[in-house]
Structure 1
Amino acid sequence: MKLSTRTRTLPIGVALAGTLALSACGAANEQGGTAGGGAGGGGEVSGTLVGAGASSQEAAMQGWRAGYTEVQPGVTVNYDPVGSGGGREQFLAGGTDFAGSDAPLDEEELAQAEERCGSAGVFELPNYISPIAVAYNLQGVDALNLSPVTLAGIFAQQITSWNDPAIAADNPDVQLPDLPITPVNRSDESGTTENFAEYLATVAPDVWTYEVSGDWPVPGGEAAQGTSGVVSAIGAGEGTIGYADLSQVEGLGVASVGVGPEFVAPTAEAAAAVVENSETLEGRGEYDFAIELARDTAESGNYPIVLISYHIGCIEYADQETATLVQDFMGYVVSADGQEAAAEAAGSAPISDTLRGQAQRAIDAITAAAG
C-alpha cells in the first residue's frame, strides 16, 4: 500500500507560541560535519530557532528541553504546536526554520519545499514514534477489544450503540451498556487524523470508504481542536470514543485492536515493532526518510495504528547560524539521550539504530548556501 498524494487547504498560523528554551549537548560542525547535541562536535552555539507543527510532539518537546537545556543555554527554540498542517505550511512559506508533522510532505508540498530550500532539498526525519490510542470513556468497562471492521464501523457512524452485536462479539465477557456512542474527532487538519484514517482505509476498505486526508470526513459526532481538545472532550462525556497520541490519554480507557488472531494494546514496544516491519517511501530525496507503514500487518505484537512524527527542514539554509542551530538541535533529538528523554516524557518508542544512522547522515549534510 502506497501512501496517497494528499491535497490540503490549510490555514496559515501566524503566531508562534509555546516557547521552549532548549539547548544542545555540543556544537555542530559549521560546514555540515557531525552534529552536536551529545553526538560529538565541540564549542558553544547560540541563537534562536523557530519551529511549528504537530501537537503530538508537545510531551516529547518537554523531555527534549529537560535534557537539552543543561549545556547550551544560549540556544532557544520556539515551537508552536499549531498542528501538522499549519506547521508544514508555515515552514514551506518561510515562516519557520523547521516543522513538526505527523505526516510526510505530499507531492505538491515537495515541490513547494524545493522553492523554499533550493535544489539541495529537504530532510524528513521520523524522530518521534508513538501509538495512536483509541481512547474511550465508558463507565464500568475497564478493558475493550475492537476488531478493525468494528472500529471502522464506529467511526463511520454505522455502529451507534455500545451494546451493538459487533462490539459484543469482540468482547464476549464484557457487560456493555445500552448507551449511544459519541465519536470524537479532530476539528483541525491533523496528521493524527490522517494516520488514523489511513489505518481504517487499509484494514477495513469496505467500511471506511472516505478519501484519506488530514481533515475528518464524517459529519456529525463531536469535533475538538488539537490533541488536548479531543482528550478533554472524551473525558467530559459518557460513551465517548476518539483517537489521540497515547502519551496524552492518561485517565481514559484505551482499547486493544485486532491484529491477526489477537488483540494488541498500544505500547511503545508494539509501535516500534510495526515500524521495523515497514519500508521507506520510494522516489523521494536523498535525505528524505518518510516511512510507508505496514498498517495491515498480522504480525504478533505489532500495533499498526502508529503515529510517526517527522522533523522537516532544509538541507541548505540561507545563513550559517540557522544551519548550525538546526544541525545541533536535530543531533540531540536523534541521539540516544534525546530519544530516552522523549520516551520518559511522552512514552514514545526510541528510534532504532537504523533510523538513527539514516537521520545522522541527513544531519551531517545540513549546511549554508555559498556566498
Structure 2
Amino acid sequence: MTDRTPRSRTRRLRVGVVAAALVALSAAAPALAMPRAAAPTAPISGSGSSWAGNAVDDWKAAIKAQSVTVNYNNAGSSQGRKDFANGLADFAVSEIPYTGDTADPKDNVRPDFSYAMLPVVAGGTAFMYNLKVTGQQFKELKLDQLTLAKIFSGQITQWNDPAIKATNPGKAIPQQRITVVVRADGSGATAQFTLWMLRQFPAQYKALCSTTGGCDGKHATSYFPTKNLSNFVAQTGSVGVTTYTSNTEYTINYDEYSYAQNLGFPSAQIKNAAGYFTLPDQYAVAVALTQAKINNNKASDNYLSQDLAAVYPYKDPRSYPLSAYSYMIEPTETRGNFDKAKGTTLAYFEQFVLCEGQQTMGRLGYSPLPMNLVLAALDQVQKVPGIGADTKAKIAATKNGVKTGGANPCNNPTFKPGDSPSNNQLIKSAPFPEGCDAACQAPWINAIGTGGPGKNPTGNGTGTTGGTGTSGPGTTGTGGDGTGAGPGAGPAAGGTSCDPVTGLCTGDQGSGAGTGDPNASANPYNLTRQKTWGTAQLALLISALLVALLVLGPPIAARALDGGTRAPRRVAGTPPVSADPPAPPTASPGAP
C-alpha cells in the first residue's frame, strides 16, 4: 500500500527542494564562471615613444599572460611614426601627430593608407636631476618655469645661479656646472618640451635656435639641438638619458616621470601658474589636462589629438604644467603585412590598454585616462579591420555599464559606477599643496563636476580640476583633499558643448566660460580599484554556495529523508524505545 501520509509528502517535498537547488546551482555555476573567449594568436609589433615606453612594457607583460604576443620597439616617436608609415610596424605610439602645428617639419614621412589616433595614457614630463648638497642627494629642488627654460636654452649654466638659489633659499647649492642631458633621437618628449618653450618662453626658445642653428624658432622640434652648447650631452632614448643622469653628478634631463621613479632619483618640483611647486604624479597631471583642447573633428586624421596651450598657464594650485597625452596610431585598413588576423590582436590589445591597462598607470608614474576619453578611444578601436566579436562585446559592455551606471566593466580607475564619465575620480581625490589654505582652495572646491573652479581663473573655456601639489612656496608636503561637484558650465560660443574634463567638444569649436554651483558639496572618493559587481563576482558566490551545498547537502537530505521520525532522545533509567511504530495487535489463539 502506498504511503500517502502528510509526513511522507513533507519528506518528499524537502528532498525535492534540496535536489532542485543542487541541480540549479550545478548548472548555473559553470555557465557564470565560463572562461574568457580564446585570445587572438597572431603576434603584432609596434614602434615609437619611449616616453610612454614603461607603460607599453607593462601592458605587454600583462597581455602576455593571456597568451597574446605584442612586440614593441621604443625607438622614439619620430622613428615609430616612420616605421608605421613604411609598413614596418603594425602600430605606433607617439605624443604628436603626423601633421599640424605640433608636428616637426623634419618628419615628412606620411602613411599612404588610412589610420586613426587614440589616446592611451597621460603623463608629465619630469626633470630628473643628480645633485648633492653637503654630501647628500638633494631631493627638494624647486625651479620656476623661466629658470627651467633658461637652463635648457643654455642661458643658465651653474647650479648656484641666483635664479636657482632664489627658489631654494637656505640650501647650500654647490658652484658646479650644470650638465644638461637631452635626447639624441627624434622624440615626442622633445617635441612637447620645445613646444612648451615656444609657447611660454619664446625668447628663450629663439635663443636656443639661434645659438645652435638646429631649429627655426617658429616651430617645435623633435630633435633637440645641441651645437655650440658645451654643457649639453645627448643620449639615445629615455633609458639612455636617465641612465646617464643617474650615473653622472650635476646633471638634469627631461623625460616621463616614471623613469625617475624607477631609478629612485628625484625630479625637480616645478612652479605652476598659481605659484605652487608640484610634481607630475597622476593627480597633478589629471588636473592639468582638464585644460587640454581635444580635436573633435571626426573627419580629421588628428581626431582626438591635443592642444596644450591652456594647460601651461592653468592656475589650479594642484596642476603640473608640462602634462600631456600619449597616443597609439592604428591602421584602419589592411595593407602589406597587416591583415585581419593582426587586426584582431591589435583591437584586443587596445581594448585591454584602455580598460584594465589603466589600473597600474598611477603606480608607474603616469596618469590613467579619464573615462569619457576612454569611450571616445574605444570608438577608434572599432575601426581596426578584423576586430573580434569578443572585443566588440567588451566595448559594448563598457558603454552599457557607463550608460546604466550599474557597473564598471572596463575597470578604469578614474570612473565610479553611477557617476558621470566626465567626473574623473582622480581629480575628486586630489590633495591641495601645503600652503594652500581655505581661501586658496575655495574657488576649486566650489566647482563643476570634478573640481574645476566656479570661475575659471585663466579665462579659457571651462574646466574641472584636481591633482596634487608637492609643496607651497618654499615648503614640501601634501595637503588635504579637495573635491567638488556641481552642474556643468554653460556652452561655449558658437554652439560648442565641451567636456570639462578632457576638452572633448561636439559641434562648432569656440570658447567660452561658465560658472559652477557655489553651493556644491564636497564628495571625496577614495581612488582604489573599482569593486564592481558583475558576472565574475556572481560566479564566485554561486561556486561558494555550490561547494557549501555539496558538503552540507547529504546530511541535510538524510535529515529530510528521516522526516522527523527519529526516536526521541532516551532518558536515563528508561527502557529503550523503538523507532518503529508499534505492531498492530494479533488475535490470541482460540479467540473467536
Instruction: Show the counterpart of 1:168.
Output: 165
Structure 1 110/290 Cα, relative in aligned 2: closer, same or farther at 3 Å? farther
Q: Distance in 2 between matches of 1:91 and 1:63?
A: 21
Query: For residue 217 of structure 1, what is the amino acid of its counterpart?
Result: P
Structure 1 217/282 Cα, relative in aligned 2: closer, same or farther at 3 Å? farther
Instruction: Show the counterpart of 1:339.
Output: 358
Instruction: Show the counterpart of 2:24.
Output: none
Deviations 1:99-127 (A, max 9, x none): 011222225879923x122xxxx221110
Query: For residue 57 of structure 1, what is the amino acid of its counterpart?
Result: A
Instruction: Show the counterpart of 1:207.
Output: 204
Instruction: Show the counterpart of 2:43.
Output: 48
Query: For residue 69 of structure 1, what is the amino acid of its counterpart?
Result: K
Deviations 1:207-266 (A, max 9, x none): 222431101024221111111111122122221111111111133231111112222122
Instruction: Show the counterpart of 1:329.
Output: 349
Instruction: Show the counterpart of 1:23.
Output: none
1:273 and 1:301 in contact (8 A); partners too: yes
Query: For residue 348 of structure 2, what is the amino acid of its counterpart?
Result: D
Kindly indicate whether residue 77 of structure 2 is the aligned counterpart of residue 84 of structure 1.
yes
Q: Distance in 2 between matches of 1:244 and 1:289?
A: 23
Aligned equivalent of 2:375, options 353, 357, 363: 357
1:50 and 1:98 in contact (8 A); partners too: yes
2:122 and 2:323 in contact (8 A); partners too: yes
Structure 1 gap segments, 5+ residues each: 1-40
Q: How far apart are 1:342 and its partner, in Å? A: 3.8
Instruction: Show the counterpart of 2:190.
Output: 193
Kindly indicate whether residue 325 of structure 2 is the aligned counterpart of residue 308 of structure 1.
yes
Q: Percent identity?
A: 28
Q: Distance in 2 between matches of 1:196 and 1:215?
A: 11
Aligned pairs (5 A) from 1:233-312: 233-249=244-260, 250-260=263-273, 261-281=275-295, 285=299, 288-293=303-308, 294-312=311-329
Aligned equivalent of 1:223, options 223, 234, 255: 234
Q: Distance in 2 between matches of 1:325 and 1:110?
A: 29
2:289 and 2:324 in contact (8 A); partners too: no
1:138 and 1:253 in contact (8 A); partners too: no
Alignment RMSD: 2.3
Structure 1 204/48 Cα, relative in aligned 2: closer, same or farther at 3 Å? same
Aligned pairs (5 A) from 1:81-160: 81-107=74-100, 112-113=110-111, 115-117=112-114, 122-140=115-133, 141-160=138-157
Deviations 1:149-208 (A, max 9, x none): 111111111111111111111222322111111111111111111111112222222222
Q: Tell me, what secondary structure is at the counterpart of 2:113?
A: helix
Instruction: Show the counterpart of 1:3.
Output: none
Q: Distance in 2 between matches of 1:243 and 1:92?
A: 27
1:55 and 1:226 in contact (8 A); partners too: yes
Q: Distance in 1 between matches of 2:188 and 2:75?
A: 11
Deviations 1:33-85 (A, max 9, x none): xxxxxxxx9444211111111122332123213432333x1x31111111111
Structure 1 284/364 Cα, relative in aligned 2: closer, same or farther at 3 Å? closer
Q: Distance in 1 between matches of 2:109 and 2:190?
A: 23
Q: Distance in 2 between matches of 1:110 and 1:185?
A: 23
Q: Tell me, what secondary structure is at the counterpart of 1:304?
A: coil
Q: Distance in 1 between matches of 2:165 and 2:55?
A: 36
Q: How far apart are 1:367 and its partner, in Å? A: 2.2
Q: Distance in 2 between matches of 1:188 and 1:258?
A: 28
Structure 1 358/311 Cα, relative in aligned 2: closer, same or farther at 3 Å? same
Q: Distance in 1 between matches of 2:86 and 2:144?
A: 41
**Which has a greater percent of strand?**
1
Comparing 186-195 with 256-265, greater Cα deviation is found at 256-265
Instruction: Show the counterpart of 1:34.
Output: none
Q: Tell me, what secondary structure is at the counterpart of 2:127?
A: strand
Q: Distance in 1 between matches of 2:296 and 2:60?
A: 33
Query: For residue 112 of structure 1, what is the amino acid of its counterpart?
Result: R
Instruction: Show the counterpart of 2:54.
Output: 59
Query: For residue 341 of structure 2, what is the amino acid of its counterpart?
Result: E
Q: Distance in 2 between matches of 1:111 and 1:241?
A: 32
Structure 1 216/201 Cα, relative in aligned 2: closer, same or farther at 3 Å? same
Q: Distance in 1 between matches of 2:268 and 2:190?
A: 17
Query: For residue 371 of structure 2, what is the amino acid of its counterpart?
Result: D
Structure 2 length as normaliser, TM-score? 0.51
Q: Distance in 2 between matches of 1:240 and 1:137?
A: 5
Q: Tell me, what secondary structure is at the counterpart of 1:207?
A: helix
Q: How far apart are 1:330 and its partner, in Å? A: 0.6
Structure 2 gap segments, 5+ residues each: 1-35, 210-216, 388-592
Structure 1 163/110 Cα, relative in aligned 2: closer, same or farther at 3 Å? closer
Deviations 1:130-158 (A, max 9, x none): 11111111102321111111111111111
Q: Tell me, what secondary structure is at the counterpart of 1:330?
A: helix
1:131 and 1:305 in contact (8 A); partners too: yes
Q: How far apart are 1:328 and its partner, in Å? A: 1.0
Q: How far apart are 1:299 and its partner, in Å? A: 2.3
Aligned residues: 321
Q: Distance in 2 between matches of 1:362 and 1:83?
A: 23
Q: Distance in 1 between matches of 2:297 and 2:155?
A: 38
Q: Distance in 1 between matches of 2:185 and 2:264?
A: 24
Structure 1 175/313 Cα, relative in aligned 2: closer, same or farther at 3 Å? same
Q: How far apart are 1:282 and its partner, in Å? A: 5.7
1:201 and 1:208 in contact (8 A); partners too: yes
Q: Distance in 1 between matches of 2:165 and 2:368?
A: 36
Q: Tell me, what secondary structure is at the counterpart of 1:324?
A: helix
